[in-house]
């Protein structure tokens, strides 16, 4: 499969990750179209991107003209069909396999046959997602980290049938976005989550074992292990529901006890304490 030069990027799902990816794409000079299920959600995402770019202007990391030009490259839509002329589509919707399978099958009927389809999944199998299309060689993983505009890494994930061209194209896009891409194969959790998810679960178990407060555990890991933010702050940022889901997905595949989400965090998820986005997790937010 020969991949076209990537000029236009589609992003499906403009939540925290999708909006961050769209921000990176417009800053890197790509024409970008983001798809959300309602105009309200699409406008809210463009508003957040405009806000973060304004902060960059305020801090003199970007000129006002550059901000205007970047925002001029961003379009939002509720119609999946509007992504027809994208060279690369990055999926960042809910972490549910069936929803992703349905989306990829629909995208295949919309975009050109040579367009690359990427998933930002953090814990599902890229190979399983790729199996929903008739040309799985065009499917790769592009796994960004939260917050996407700030975290330098993107994992470029090769599924069983990904073509070299599709992997290389995704890698080059990652580089042009100013990221540090790495290549890896489609194994549960890829590289970072394979290590980070059990580690964060250990941290949550330590809360009860050592009878330490979330504040003190965060101090322990920032002041004693040099983490940029403590584990409770990090899980609140990522989303308690996202973390529980990723843990469950990895446990299902690897059957390692440390992968299983600790009961304490499952209870938090069930109670609607989802972290920053719901206003309450380990900490309370305004």
Active-site residue 122, yes or no?
yes
Q: What are phi and psi of 139, to 5 degrees?
A: -105, 130
Three-state SS at 131 = coil
Minimum CB distance to ligand CAA, residue 39 (Å): 22
Chain positions 72 to 131 lying near ligand CAA, rule: CB under 6 A, are 122
> Taking contact as CB under 6 A, which single stretch among the options 80-88, 170-178, 180-188, 227-235 is the one that binds ligand CAA?
227-235
Minimum CB distance to ligand CAA, residue 134 (Å): 28
Is the CB of 166 or the CB of 196 nearer to ligand CAA?
Answer: 196
Mode of pairing for the β-strands spanning 139-144 and 116-119 = parallel
Q: Are the C-beta atoms of residues 144 and 17 closer than 8 Å to each other?
A: yes
242 contacts ligand CAA (rule: CB under 6 A): yes
Looking at beta carbons, which residue is closest to ligand CAA? Answer: 122
Q: Are the C-beta atoms of residues 127 and 159 closer than 8 Å to each other?
A: yes
Is the CB of 3 or the CB of 189 nearer to ligand CAA?
Answer: 189
Active-site residue 132, yes or no?
no
147 contacts ligand CAA (rule: CB under 6 A): yes
- If we measure between CA atoms, which residue out of 239, 234, 232 comes closest to residue 272? 239
Minimum CB distance to ligand CAA, residue 120 (Å): 8
Mode of pairing for the β-strands spanning 31-35 and 116-119 = unpaired
* Strands annotated E in the chain: 8-12, 31-35, 74-77, 88-91, 116-119, 139-144, 153-158, 180-185
188 contacts ligand CAA (rule: CB under 6 A): no
122, 163, 201, 247: the active-site residue: 122
238 contacts ligand CAA (rule: CB under 6 A): yes
Chain positions 258 to 277 lying near ligand CAA, rule: CB under 6 A, are none
Residue 134 CB partners (closer than 8 Å, separation 6+): 108
* Strands annotated E in 26-100: 31-35, 74-77, 88-91
229 contacts ligand CAA (rule: CB under 6 A): yes
15 contacts ligand CAA (rule: CB under 6 A): no
46, 125, 193, 247: the active-site residue: 193
How many whole angstroms from its chain centre is CA 69? Answer: 25
The correct pick among 55, 61, 112, 264 for binding ligand CAA (CB under 6 A) is: 55
SS3 annotation, 158-219: ECCCCCHHHHHHHHHHHHHCCCEEEEEECCCCCCHHHHHHHHHHHHHHHHHHCCCCHHHHHH
Active-site residue 125, yes or no?
no
Minimum CB distance to ligand CAA, residue 282 (Å): 15
Active-site residue 63, yes or no?
no
Three-state SS at 59 = coil
214 contacts ligand CAA (rule: CB under 6 A): no
Is the CB of 20 or the CB of 198 nearer to ligand CAA?
Answer: 20
150 contacts ligand CAA (rule: CB under 6 A): yes
Residues annotated catalytic, as ranges: 122, 143, 155, 193
Q: Which positions touch ligand CAA (CB under 6 A)?
A: 20, 52, 55, 122, 145-147, 149-151, 193, 196, 228-229, 234, 238, 242, 246
């Amino acid at each position: 499969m020969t991949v076209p030069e990537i000029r236009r990027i589609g992003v499906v799902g403009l939540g925290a990750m999708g909006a961050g990816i769209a921000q990176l794409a417009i800053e890197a000079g790509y024409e970008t179209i983001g798809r959300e299920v309602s105009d309200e959600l699409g406008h809210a995402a463009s508003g957040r991107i405009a806000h973060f770019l304004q902060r960059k202007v305020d801090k003199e990391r970007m000129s006002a003209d550059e901000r205007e030009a970047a925002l001029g490259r961003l379009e939002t839509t509720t119609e999946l069909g509007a992504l027809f002329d994208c060279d690369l589509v990055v999926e960042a919707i809910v972490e549910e396999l069936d929803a992703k399978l349905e989306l990829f099958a629909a995208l295949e009927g919309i975009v050109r046959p040579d367009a690359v389809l990427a998933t930002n999944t953090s814990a599902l199998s890229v190979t399983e997602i790729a199996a929903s299309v008739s040309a799985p060689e065009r499917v790769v993983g592009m796994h960004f980290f939260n917050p996407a505009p700030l975290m330098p890494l993107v994992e470029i994930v090769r599924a069983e049938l990904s073509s070299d061209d599709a992997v290389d194209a995704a890698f080059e896009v990652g580089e042009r976005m100013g990221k540090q891409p790495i290549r890896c194969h489609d194994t549960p959790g890829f590289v970072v989550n394979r290590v980070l998810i059990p580690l964060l679960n250990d941290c949550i178990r330590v809360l009860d074992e050592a009878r330490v407060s979330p504040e003190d555990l965060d101090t322990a890991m920032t002041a004693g292990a040099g983490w940029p933010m403590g584990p409770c702050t990090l899980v609140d940022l990522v989303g308690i529901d996202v973390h529980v889901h990723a843990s469950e997905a990895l446990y299902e595949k690897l059957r390692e006890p440390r992968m299983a989400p600790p009961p304490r965090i499952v209870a938090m998820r069930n109670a609607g304490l989802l972290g920053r986005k719901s206003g309450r997790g380990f900490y309370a937010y305004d």
